[in-house]
Amino acid sequence: MKLATLRTTGGTAAARLDGDVYTEIAGYPDLGALLAEENWQEIARGAAGPEHPAAEAELATVVPNPSKVLCVGLNYKSHIQEMGRELPTHPTVFAKFADTLTGPADPVEAVAEDPELDWEGELAIVIGRTAYRVGEAEAGDYIAGYTAANDISMRGWQFRSIEWLQGKIWARSTPVGPVMVTSDEFDPAASTLRTTVNGAVMQEHPISDLLFKPNQLVAYLSTILPLRPGDLILTGTPGGVGRARTPELYLKAGDRVEVSVDGIGVLSTPITEPAHLPA
């Protein structure tokens, strides 16, 4: 199944995508609320609410209010090498917050305080039930599905210190979506991730090159703290980011950055002028 969170005239609603039609899942304001139900798959399959043509639907970020958004850096060999680092022996982990998330077609404002706005196309894991101290062999049972993300990064702020957090958590800067594809219908190892800027390909890489695979990440992170239904894990970006290019290349107002994952869909993000200029 392909599931999403729609914006409607009455608020938001969880929905199932069949072909070119979204069907609302009555009683669930977003995908996170649906995933909190133990029998969420059965509920989604039986949905028969109002229908919306996909071409006219406005999508919110796939899970608007996850309890946590965990991110993995340096998880593709090509990206690790282009950043001049050695292969890590453990995942490099940082976090985001719900305020950082935005919809798959929403604009992202350029940052007046940082001209080094960079793209990072990623596959994201969506947790389907509480996972705490689960092993790698069983970790897949806790994955509801997968979606796409763009970890748009403010590199100037990111590298002000050895901790990356302040360059990764700007408000409404992380598009996620357009849909979550359930894990029974999506194989990360058979998919390719692409990022384009104004139509030019910047990243194109098989997801099979992930250093730490989805099951490994769920097992590793669930050792630290419980993963809850609707939580997101951004799995990392491949080579081709703007900072690693010669000369360096960054996003600016008027650009459009798109991230696609085979079998999931496209995030299409216009970069707009900053609404608030620094004093």
For residue 1, give every residue at least 6 positions away whose Cβ sits within 8 Å of its Cβ, in sequence order, or none.
16, 17, 41, 44, 45, 181, 182, 185
127/245 same-domain check: yes
Residue 277 is assigned to a structural domain of this protein = no
Q: How many domains does the chain have?
A: 2
Domain boundary among 59, 79, 98: 59
The encoded tokens of residue 260 equal 């696609």
Q: What is the CATH number of the domain that holds 15?
A: 2.30.30
Going through 151-199 in order, the beta strands assigned E by DSSP cover: 153-154, 174-182, 192-197
The amino acid at 276: H
Question: Given the structure tokens 């935005």, which residue do they identify?
Answer: 102
The encoded tokens of residue 53 equal 């043509």
> What pLDDT is stored for residue 275 in this prediction?
80
Question: Stretch 138-161: mean pLDDT, rounded?
Answer: 97
Question: Stretch 159-168: mean pLDDT, rounded?
Answer: 92
Contact 121, 148 (CB under 8 A): yes
Residue 64 is assigned to a structural domain of this protein = no
Residue 166 is assigned to a structural domain of this protein = yes
> What pLDDT is stored for residue 77 in this prediction?
81
Q: Which residues on neighbouring strands pair with residue 204, listed in sequence order? A: 194
pLDDT tens digits, residue range 30-83? Answer: 999 999 999 999 999 999 999 999 999 999 999 999 999 999 988 998 777 777
Residue 278 is assigned to a structural domain of this protein = no
Q: Which domain holds residue 144?
A: 69-272
Contact 81, 244 (CB under 8 A): no
Question: Given the structure tokens 């039986």, which residue do they identify?
Answer: 46
pLDDT tens digits, residue range 118-146? Answer: 999 999 999 999 999 999 999 999 999 99
Question: Stretch 248-273: mean pLDDT, rounded?
Answer: 98
